[in-house]
Amino acid sequence: MNQLADRAAIHDLNARYAIAFDGFQLDESSGCWAEDGVLDERETGLGLFRGRETIREFFRDELFAHARHVIHVMFNHLITDIEDDRAAGSVFCVVEVVTTDGDYIRSHVAYEDEYVRVDGQWKFGSRVIKPSFPGVPSRP
């Protein structure tokens, strides 16, 4: 692939992830990670998750189980350092959640990503999530 096609595929990866997650599509959202991928949510207080199956279980048991509605609004996606089957990038995101208890949570986060190409498809090798703005927990 050329760099322009790689950039488009990585942008698509982020969109696929957000759409799948917001639709509570467990296999599709966790499938955006490489088999040995890492999701680092330590700075949000949620922990460190290694491996696609561990990430899948976290989504199912901790996130999907407590959310009624979720939306990710991704923006300012910058892709850097594309070389062969690896790339790096950053994405900002506003996440809004209505919990099963009826609470409303709005978070601004920054994703620091490492991407890997696996069998011709870009995946998250690592995604570090960092708060980028004070959260807004409140009742609707």
pTM score: 0.91
Whether the predicted pLDDT of 1 surpasses 70: no
Residue 134 confidence (pLDDT): 67
Give the C-alpha separation, 94 to 63, whole Å: 16
Q: What are phi and psi of 17, to 5 degrees?
A: -60, -50
Residue 135 confidence (pLDDT): 56
Whether the predicted pLDDT of 43 surpasses 80: yes
Q: Torsion-angle region of residue 26: left (phi > 0), alpha (psi -120 to 50) or beta? A: alpha
Mean pLDDT in residue range 30-58: 97
Domains and CATH numbers, the chain: 3-138 (3.10.450.50)
Per-residue tokens: 122: 């870009």
Residue 132 confidence (pLDDT): 87
Mean pLDDT in residue range 57-70: 96
Q: For residues 10-35, b (16+ Cβ closer than 10 Å) or e, as one string?
A: bbebbebbbebbbebebeebbbbbbe
CB 123 within 8 A of CB 10: no
Interval 102-138: pLDDT, tens: 999 999 999 999 999 999 999 999 999 999 876 555 4
List all residues 6 or more positions away from 61 whose beta carbon is below 8 Å from its beta carbon: none
DSSP letter assigned to residue 45: T
Per-residue tokens: 100: 């099963």
